[in-house]
Amino acid sequence: MEDARQTEAEDASSPIKTVLIVEDDEDIGLALSQVLKEETHYQVVVATDGFQALKIIRTIQPDLFVVDYHLPEMNGLEFVDTLRAKPEYARTPMLLMSARPPWPDLAQRQLLCLEKPFELDIFVLQIKELLLA
């Protein structure tokens, strides 16, 4: 029982982390956002494409990016490459999502990927692990 109380106290004292989800399917973006908002220590912002996300990061600095691979105009890898070229985001954790992951490109970039469809509890666990690293 003491361990549970300690974990709850640690969660309550943890700073709120900002997660930027870049997902062109609004239903998926909303679902992922709602799941993370149920966790008390996440602020979630959703963008529907890479260019919108680049505008958003002018005003906020996310602690984690969750990026769909198949985005309009700029795919997820192009977005990740753009971010990593910026010194302030070179070490920010990023998670790619895709129904058809480009595995060789992911390995080359040392980028984690969740293959769609995935379980929401696996998604939340992956977010927690990335933010602890």
Structure tokens at 92: 């920010």
**DSSP E strands, 1-133:** 17-22, 42-47, 64-68, 94-98, 112-115
Residue 3 maps to a domain:
no
**Number of structural domains the chain divides into:** 1
Whether residue 7 lies inside any domain: the answer is no
List the domain range (segments joined by +) for residue 28.
Answer: 15-132
Query: Is 113 within the bounds of a domain?
Result: yes
> Is residue 56 assigned to a domain?
yes
Q: Domain for residue 68, yes or no?
A: yes
In a domain, 70, yes or no: yes
Give the domain CATH number at 71.
Answer: 3.40.50.2300
Q: Is residue 1 part of a domain?
A: no
Distance CA 52, CA 104 (A): 27
Dig out the tokens for 4 from the structure.
Answer: 């549970």
Segment-wise mean pLDDT, segments of 10 residues, the chain, 133 residues: 42 79 97 92 95 97 98 96 96 97 94 96 95 84
pLDDT at 56: 98
Q: What are the helix (H) ranges across 14-117?
A: 26-37, 50-56, 76-84, 103-109
At 22 the pLDDT is: 98
Burial class (CB in 10 A: 0-12, 13-18, 19+), 97: buried
pTM greater than 0.85 (yes/no)? yes
What span, in angstroms and rounded, lies between the C-alpha atoms of 32 and 72? 19
Asked if residue 116 is part of any domain, the answer here is: yes
Q: What is the pLDDT of residue 13?
A: 59
